[in-house]
Amino acid sequence: MPKRTDARTLEPSALHLLRRQAVRAVRGGMSQTDAARIFGASLRAISKWMRLDREGGLRALTLKRRGRHPGAGCLSAQRAGRIRSLIVGKLPDQLKLPFYLWTRAAVVRLIAREYGIAVSLVTVGRYLRAWGLSPQKPVRRAYERNDAAIARWLKREYPALARQAKREHAVIYWGDEMGLRSDHVTGTSYAPVGRTPVVRATGQRFGCNMLSAITNKGALAFMVFEGKFKAPVFVAFMQRLLKQVAGPIYLIVDGHPVHKSGTATHFAATHASRLRLIRMPGYCPELNPDELLNQDVKTNGLGKSRPTNRTELMAIVRSHLYRRQKQPQVITNLFREKHVRYAA
């Protein structure tokens, strides 16, 4: 029995001829399995050749030039390390590249600009994996964010506050405000593939607001109200908090204008023997544990209901918060999240 040809050992011209012969044989009725055996190619190769023939005819079987095209190349270890440090240290727009986030195309452009080397998207993907980089959804942060102030808060200011509160037997509350809307939708629902489920809800839009404050021991105070969040509302909330808590209170809030208003500042000064109003650095909501309660209300309270008017909406929010007041372990668990663990 004659020895079969191994397609991998053929010169390009011979391989091109073999491809055409194999395709013609399959066209004539031969199975792809028999063609692979007779012509010395893998079944996968025969299948690929037939696909090329279907898409572009016999011309599509012409071998493409192998090897790197002019200008192509690879990065040395030193250059690769520098490119990685640029990606980790800055965003594309900071390097004057026309990209908002680091994509493979952005890295291709960076390598070409820095070293004049053309690399493919596939090659860049291999580099990124080798460098320990993976595609991730970015966290949005404001340009006004002061990272130095945040570092001081985490390393010095809050630890000092916590020690002082302990000496004074004061309770530290973390406060925040949030607006709620009737058209808020959260969560997922199983449905047939390709058929997005439709949630029936009122076409009317209405909303309410809530103020809340929590402690790492599981305490929760809240107020649900209509209208805008203004200084008198915040003062009413602080009055309610003073009635609910027997001892001194440290109330930590963000930089909302109401928190810095003269009315709020005056009230805190008037009750300085029991209340201390403390503002966090600006634009760092992820460091406020009460933000996690806001998410809980939206997801597990409002997200599971469909109110038809404002009264129902406010009742749903109040009911959920009353339930959380009876579940201090749920509030305590919020402080175990990575970004707020420092306040636990």
The residues spanned by each domain of the chain are 7-61, 77-130, 147-182+204-343
Segment among 74-78, 188-192, 265-269 with least mean pLDDT? 188-192
Over the Cα atoms of the chain, what is R_g? 32
CB 63 within 8 A of CB 12: yes
Select the more confidently predicted residue: 52 or 138. 52
Residue range 40-53, pLDDT digits in tens: 888 998 998 898 88
| Model pLDDT, residue 16 | 80
> Residue 69: pLDDT band by 50, 70, 90 thresholds?
very low
> Residue 153: pLDDT band by 50, 70, 90 thresholds?
very high
Using alpha carbons, select from 101, 111, 41, 102 the residue that is nearest to residue 74: 111
Select the more confidently predicted residue: 188 or 118. 118
The model's pTM is 0.62
| Model pLDDT, residue 341 | 97
| Model pLDDT, residue 100 | 81
| Model pLDDT, residue 199 | 58
State the DSSP code for 154.
Answer: I
| Model pLDDT, residue 5 | 56
> Residue 70: pLDDT band by 50, 70, 90 thresholds?
very low
| Model pLDDT, residue 54 | 86
Mean pLDDT across the chain = 87
Which range in 23-37, 54-68, 131-145, 200-214 is most confidently predicted, on average pLDDT? 23-37
| Model pLDDT, residue 212 | 98
Which range in 29-43, 133-147, 250-264 is most confidently predicted, on average pLDDT? 250-264
- Kindly write down the DSSP assignment for every residue of 172-233, as one continuous string: EEEEEEEEEETT---S-----TT--------S---EEEEEEEE-TTS-EEEEEESS---HHH
CB 93 within 8 A of CB 100: yes
Helix or strand holding residue 24 (H, E): helix 12-27
CB 248 within 8 A of CB 169: yes
Q: How far apart are CA 290 and CA 298, in angstroms?
A: 13
Residue range 313-339, pLDDT digits in tens: 999 999 999 999 999 999 999 999 999
Which amino acid is located at 301 in the chain? G
- Mean pLDDT value across residues 245-256: 96
Q: How far apart are CA 119 and CA 73, in angstroms?
A: 7
> Residue 72: pLDDT band by 50, 70, 90 thresholds?
very low
- Mean pLDDT value across residues 2-22: 72
Q: How far apart are CA 176 and CA 162, in angstroms?
A: 19
| Model pLDDT, residue 303 | 77
Residue range 283-314, pLDDT digits in tens: 899 999 999 999 999 988 887 778 889 999 99
Residue range 78-98, pLDDT digits in tens: 999 999 999 988 888 889 998
Q: How far apart are CA 60 and CA 53, in angstroms?
A: 6
DSSP helix/strand/coil, 279? strand
CATH topology of domain 147-182+204-343: Nucleotidyltransferase; domain 5 (3.30.420)
Residues 6+ apart with CB under 8 A from 239: none
Q: How far apart are CA 170 and CA 275, in angstroms?
A: 9
**Beta strand ranges found along the chain (DSSP E):** 171-181, 207-214, 220-225, 249-253, 275-279
